[in-house]
Amino acid sequence: MKRVSVARMWLYGLVAVLALAGCEAKPPPAAERLSGSVVSADGVPIKYEVSGAGEPALVFVHCWTCNRQFWDEQVSYFERYYRVVRLDLAGHGESGKGRKNYTMAAFGADVAAVAEQLGLKQVVLVGHSMGGPVSAEAEKRLGKSRVLGVVGVDTFHTGFPLPKNDKEVAAFVKPFEDDFRGYGEKFMRGMFTPQSDPALINRIGGMVLGSDKTMAVSALKNILAWYRNDAASSFDRLGERLRNINADPLNQGRPLHRSVVLVGGVGHFVAQEKPAEFNRALQAVVTQLVNGTSYR
């Protein structure tokens, strides 16, 4: 039998190691998705979906008049590395619609009920737009020991001019009360850039315009009330556990707060317009929260 040279054996070994390394670098396969429901604090049934494994769990909270499908691109990515949860808030998607007053606190109870049902011990709450205040309210219920952080997506420190008093709130809400579908579509389209994908605009528009008007108007009034009455205390309570990923439609590169990471060239629907870039930003933020890294 011919003897194999030491150099050749070393080369074969190197090739084998590199091959194994390449296999390990591949992302794990997609996780199985399971759905369930839980009763919120006021008795409204809440639909949720869970997949993946590992801590912290990432809980995705959708915005006003949308539903859990809003987060498709994020679930597909993050379920390979974390336990991922998404839900339909009351009055949205497949969840119950019997609530009389759609407050941010009541929506927060929806999120907390799902987290309790699943026994989540370490959580990062990710909320887009209205989902930001909802996540802050959920954190109140779940507590600092369980919630590593809240990630607001184009909701806090955006520069969007909010109504400052009852008169301005009434003027802001009235067009939705008078013509929800007509004005709602105009309002929704104004949240995109001229370069936005028409298919995405139509998809989001279908969610918004397909929602219940009574719920939508109630929730809108309560969003504005939360920003006036509860935002400041929530910011103080959360401190550096509050992080933000916001839109930078004009690529100005000027965040309004040190906690803000900007995604350029997109409108309000950051995670849907540039999912890959958003996912990278969120991954970095989650890593910072897990490691206790300051943004200062």
Read out DSSP for the chain? -PPPPHHHHHHHHHHHHHHHHHHHHSPPPPPPEEEEEEE-TTS-EEEEEEE---SSEEEEE--TT--GGGGHHHHHHHTTTS-EEEEPPTTSTTS----SS--HHHHHHHHHHHHHHHT-SSEEEEEETTHHHHHHHHHHHH-TTTEEEEEEESSSS-------SHHHHHHHHHHHHH-HHHHHHHHHHTTS-TTS-HHHHHHHHHHHHTS-HHHHHHHHHHHHHHHHHTHHHHHHHHGGGEEEEEEETT-----SSTTEEEEET--S-HHHHSHHHHHHHHHHHHHHHHHT----
Model's pTM, two decimal places? 0.89
Distance set, CA 232 to CA 71, 153, 239 (Å): 27, 17, 11
Q: In sequence order, which residues have a C-beta less than 8 Å from that of residue 293 and are 6 or more positions away?
A: 287
The answer to whether the peptide bond before residue 255 is cis (omega within 30 degrees of 0) is: no
Low-confidence stretches of the chain (pLDDT beneath 50) = 1-4, 6-25
- pLDDT recorded at residue 82: 98
Predicted local confidence at residue 29, as pLDDT: 63
- pLDDT of 252 reads 95
Tell me which residue of 71, 56, 278, 26 sits closest to 145, measured CA to CA. Answer: 56
What is the CA 80 to chain-centroid distance, rounded?
A: 17
What's the CA angle centered on 55, arms 233 and 107, to 5 degrees?
40
Task: Tell the CATH topology of 34-291.
Answer: Rossmann fold (3.40.50)
Which pLDDT does position 28 carry in this prediction?
A: 60
Residue 282 is predicted with a pLDDT of 99
User: Rounded to the nearest 5°, which phi and psi values hold at 95?
Assistant: -80, 165
| Per-residue model confidence as pLDDT tens digits over 19-66 | 444 444 455 666 789 999 999 999 999 999 999 999 999 999 999 999
- Token digits for 163? 């109504």
Structure tokens at 21: 């390394």
Domain boundaries, the chain: 34-291
